Structure 1
Amino acid sequence: MNITLVRNGLIAAALINIGGVLVFSRAFTNVAINNADPVVMSNFGLLMIVVWGLAYLGAAAINSNIKWLVGAFAIEKAVYVVAWVMWLSKNSLEPLYSTDVFAGAFYSIYGINDLVFMLFFAWVFLSQRDEGHA
């Protein structure tokens, strides 16, 4: 397992979560994102995405086995992928783009981003030896 690759992947996930939310939500002022999915993407939900980003950043600083931590990250990302697919199955992006380009772009890419990082976290989980740590 290449520790540098894992660390850089965790940092990238953190920066995308934190930076993506702050940019696309215009620092939590873009109500078009909230209105499109008021349960998952409320300002509270967006804040929790930032908190997950901070958790990824913290995990990047761990120098020991993080198998079960990244396993939890993979599950968390899977939940967002499912939420995104369900949202897309019931909604159209076109009216969202008409309302706000940032919101449209956010809903176009967030699930793809989460899928990529879900696969990365799952790969790290499956690649790490379980050293018997709880």
Structure 2
Amino acid sequence: MSIKSTAITKGFIISGLMNASVLIFSRLFTNATIPEFDPTVMSNFGLLMILIWGLAYISVAKKYHEVRWLVGIFAIEKLIYGLVWINWMLNNDIAAVYEKDLMAGVFYSIYGINDWVFFIFFILVFIRLSKSKKNG
């Protein structure tokens, strides 16, 4: 399966926009419910860092082929957030989050799925870049 370069560029932009959606779910960092249910990872500082990661993805969208190792770091970052989400889902009651705040409930329901999807995307891009470095 070969992914076109234009699709990869769009993937980086979409991943960044998905991270920027924390602004919506957190109501511009005023939604106290998100940090309440995971004060370590999803504090307002943590949400800000998610936004910064998203800006990093967008910043390399047209030059991703020049930063293979950074793409690999993006994959690792998404893997970590995906694993953290699975752990959170296994040890918390999502219904309690929904009872307190709908936006926070939706956020906790989907953020890990998003991280797993973009982990796969970034790892595929990294593999493609690694193969092209060996053949080029």
| 5+ long unaligned stretches in structure 1 | none
Deviation string, structure 1 residues 6-48 (Cα, Å, up to 9, x no partner) = 1000000011101x10000000000000100000000000000
SS at match of 1:41: coil
Separation of aligned partners in 1, 2:96 and 2:31: 15
2:18 maps to what in 1?
Answer: 16
Separation of aligned partners in 2, 1:63 and 1:35: 36
| 5+ long unaligned stretches in structure 2 | none
> Runs in 1 of length 4+ with deviation above 3 angstroms?
129-132
TM-score by length of 2: 0.91
Separation of aligned partners in 2, 1:31 and 1:111: 20
1:6 maps to what in 2?
Answer: 8
1:97 maps to what in 2?
Answer: 98
Aligned residues: 131
Sequence identity percentage: 49
CA pair 63-93 structure 1, distance change in 2 beyond 3 A: closer
Which stretch has the larger CA shift, 65-74 or 106-115? 65-74
State yes or no: 1:32 paired with 2:33. Answer: yes
| C-alpha contact (below 8 Å) 2:78/2:119 kept by paired residues | yes
Separation of aligned partners in 1, 2:93 and 2:128: 38
| C-alpha contact (below 8 Å) 2:78/2:118 kept by paired residues | yes
CA pair 43-63 structure 1, distance change in 2 beyond 3 A: closer
1:109 maps to what in 2?
Answer: 110
CA pair 77-69 structure 1, distance change in 2 beyond 3 A: same
Alpha carbon RMSD of aligned pairs, Å? Answer: 1.4
Match of 1:50, as an amino acid?
L
Separation of aligned partners in 2, 1:117 and 1:60: 14
